[in-house]
A and B are shown apart, each in its own frame.
Chain A
Amino acid sequence: GAVVSQHPSRVICKSGTSVKIECRSLDFQATTMFWYRQFPKKSLMLMATSNEGSKATYEQGVEKDKFLINHASLTLSTLTVTSAHPEDSSFYICSAPRQGAGGYTFGSGTRLTVV
């Protein structure tokens, strides 16, 4: 149980276009999800907290107008990278609290490459 499905696993897009990444909780409801990005050989960096039915809260330095987060249902949170640029190329990962247990379960990640 407590599986988080993230899609797509990898995406290549042209500079200036937008890309949407989905994160679904398959067998549980998640009122809160977290979005991270990770650069090669670096640790995960928290970008924002996604809250079902309300606005996401962003970490300092993360542009909310560039990284749009929508958490419209209890099982789906989306991250849209708008007007993507090569420097947005990274590994994006979502997570949700494990149900009935401590810790968090993570999606498999999305490798975004902007060309």
Chain B
Amino acid sequence: LAKTTQPISMDSYEGQEVNITCSHNNIATNDYITWYQQFPSQGPRFIIQGYKTKVTNEVASLFIPADRKSSTLSLPRVSLSDTAVYYCLVEGQDNFNKFYFGSGTKLNVKP
């Protein structure tokens, strides 16, 4: 199972774009990269998933370079409510593969 490494914490201000990078050097060919958001005392929430290049949805973008050994979650114009822990996970193509959480990145958005 691919291990992920993220910064422990990041600070930002409202309205700024935030980029959180995750490294996953031993990602396998069939693995996807998924990002989750977790607020205190809540279960994680799916944000976005990608395999390569760029994926965009209504809340975020995910950039994955050609070697796929890292990925960057981009949050446009963050607000105070985006203060949370963000987890990067590498998941097998088979949804029944178990997966493990890394340490996550605590994003602090300041006014």
Partners in one complex: yes
Interface, chain A (partner B; CB < 8 A) = 4, 6, 31-32, 34, 36, 43-46, 49, 91, 93-95, 97-98, 101-109, 111
Complex A-B: 25 CB contacts under 8 Å = A4-B43, A32-B96, A34-B98, A43-B101, A43-B103, A44-B87, A45-B101, A46-B100, A94-B43, A95-B43, A97-B95, A98-B46, A98-B95, A102-B32, A102-B49, A102-B91, A103-B36, A104-B46, A104-B91, A105-B46, A106-B44, A107-B43, A108-B42, A109-B42, A111-B41
| CB within 8 Å of A: which B39-55 residues | 41-46, 49
* Closest-CB distance, A43 to chain B (whole angstroms): 5
Chain B 67-111 interface mask (CB, 8 Å, partner A; 1/0): 000000000000000000001000100011011111110000000
Q: Whose C-beta in chain B lies nearest to the C-beta of A96?
A: B95
In the complex, which residue of chain B has the Cβ closest to the Cβ of A97? B95
Residue of A nearest to B87 (CB): A43
Q: Of B32, B96, B104, which contacts A43 at CB under 8 A?
A: B104
